[in-house]
Amino acid sequence: MNANNLSPIEQQNRELAERINAETLRDPHSIYRGKFVGIANGQIVVVSDDLEEVAQRLRQADPDPRNLFFLEAGRDYDAVEFIWSAF
């Protein structure tokens, strides 16, 4: 989705996620490193190793998925990864 088409809540969620990830990439001791971070309505609502827990807590925080966001903190989302397969 184009950033220009985001609602204000979606934009807040994305900006917070980008700040968390940038902090985590800079600081190897960040409390978020390697965790899933769930964001609802511009606020962190859950940090966990368990993606299912994050999904459940996000649904409890707001039933509208447009107001929810999650990320795996410390992952380089700009990196290109190649998947090789032999058939």
For the stretch 4-52, pLDDT in tens is 799 999 999 999 999 999 999 999 899 999 999 999 999 999 999 999 9
Asked if residue 57 is part of any domain, the answer here is: yes
pLDDT at 31: 95
φ/ψ of residue 69, rounded to 5: -155, 145
Sheet containing strand 68-72, strands side by side: 43-48, 36-40, 68-72
Domain assignment of residue 63, given as a range = 3-72
Model-level pTM? 0.84
Residue 52 belongs to a domain? yes
Mind spelling out the 3-state secondary structure of the chain? Answer: CCHHHCCHHHHHHHHHHHHHHHHHHHCCCCCCCCCEEEEECCEEEEEECCHHHHHHHHHHHCCCHHHEEEEECCCCCCCCCCCCCCC
Q: How many domains does the chain have?
A: 1
Residue 80 lies in a domain: no
Residue 84 maps to a domain: no
In a domain, 78, yes or no: no
Q: In the structure, what pLDDT confidence band is assigned to residue 3 with cuts at 50, 70 and 90?
A: low
